[in-house]
Copies of this chain bind each other. A is one copy, B any other.
Amino acid sequence: MSKEEVVLLDFWVSPFAARAKIALAEKGVAYECREEDLLGGKSELLLKSNPIYEKVPVLLHDGKPICESINIVYYIDETWSSPQLLPPCSYGKSHARFWADFIDKKVFETGSNIWRGKGEGLEVAKKEFIDILKKLEGALGEKHFFGGDTFGFLDIILIPLTSWFYAYEKFGGFKVEEECPKLIVWIKTCMEKKSVAAVLPDPEKVFEFVTMMRKMHRIE
């Protein structure tokens, strides 16, 4: 049997690509990471592999493309069995899926409304962002991780988005820690894991990237 080929089309600052990288690291799957030049020009392979969205991440498993980050994490969990990332029972799975979908619909977009925002729009976005985080803090409860004692699916979905929080704080003039201290404890616990710490970009670098994006969008 030939060795399987796993390739990830990546962009260093993408929290969505980071989900795939953390999941692959958790499973101990060796893979080749190909950095896309999203600001310059997308590769032919990316355009061919994800014709609907033309976005990273794309996971290529023996040449077959899997697109959309949550979908990729499901695929990784189903394809390489250990350790299991989703909860074992169907009710636990449904709970994890519900919150993954909530995170996907809300966190990055509302965060973007903060760094793109001004005046009242910025205030609305900040309020909404903190409300979203408080709901997530409620779902976390008193647990170490979203699934309980073990780092798993929902932690992988959310943790990459937190490396953008510093940029949101700087442009929004607020502190997540003052609003959601338990979420900050959870971030620190996750960052103790090598699979997470080795993958997430430095928040200062994310801030520089967002600063550049603001210039590109002629904000301020």
What is the chain B residue whose CB lies nearest that of A77?
Answer: B90
Partner of A52, one of B75, B78, B135: B135
Specify which chain B residues have a CB less than 8 angstroms from the CB of A27 in the assembled complex: none
Specify which chain B residues have a CB less than 8 angstroms from the CB of A150 in the assembled complex: none
Rounded to whole Å, the gap between the CB of A103 and the closest CB of chain B is 12
B78, A98: Cβ atoms under 8 Å? no
User: Which chain A residues numbered 57 to 81 have a C-beta less than 8 Å away from chain B?
Assistant: 61, 64, 66-68, 70-72, 74-75, 78-79
Rounded to whole Å, the gap between the CB of A109 and the closest CB of chain B is 12
B102, A75: Cβ atoms under 8 Å? no
The interface size of chain A toward B, counting residues with CB under 8 Å, comes to 22
A193 CB–B CB distance under 8 Å: no
B101, A75: Cβ atoms under 8 Å? no
For the complex, give the distance between the alpha carbons of A151 and B138 in Å. 39
Partner of A90, one of B67, B68, B79: B79
For the complex, give the distance between the alpha carbons of A210 and B94 in Å. 32
What is the chain B residue whose CB lies nearest that of A64?
Answer: B91
For the complex, give the distance between the alpha carbons of A38 and B52 in Å. 35
A97 CB–B CB distance under 8 Å: yes
Specify which chain B residues have a CB less than 8 angstroms from the CB of A127 in the assembled complex: none
B102, A74: Cβ atoms under 8 Å? no
Q: Scoring A residues 99 to 114 as 1 if CB is less than 8 Å from chain B, else 0, what string do you get? A: 0011000000000000
Partner of A93, one of B67, B74, B90: B74
Partner of A75, one of B64, B71, B75, B93: B93
Specify which chain B residues have a CB less than 8 angstroms from the CB of A102 in the assembled complex: 52
For the complex, give the distance between the alpha carbons of A71 and B70 in Å. 13
Q: Which residues of A contact B (CB under 8 A)?
A: 52, 61, 64, 66-68, 70-72, 74-75, 78-79, 90-91, 93-94, 97-98, 101-102, 135
- Ordered by A's residue number, 6 sampled pairs between the chains whose C-beta atoms are within 8 Å are A52-B135, A66-B94, A70-B101, A71-B94, A72-B94, A75-B91
Apart from A64-B91, A68-B97, A71-B101, list 8 A-B contacts with CB within 8 A: A61-B91, A67-B98, A68-B101, A71-B94, A71-B97, A71-B98, A74-B97, A75-B93
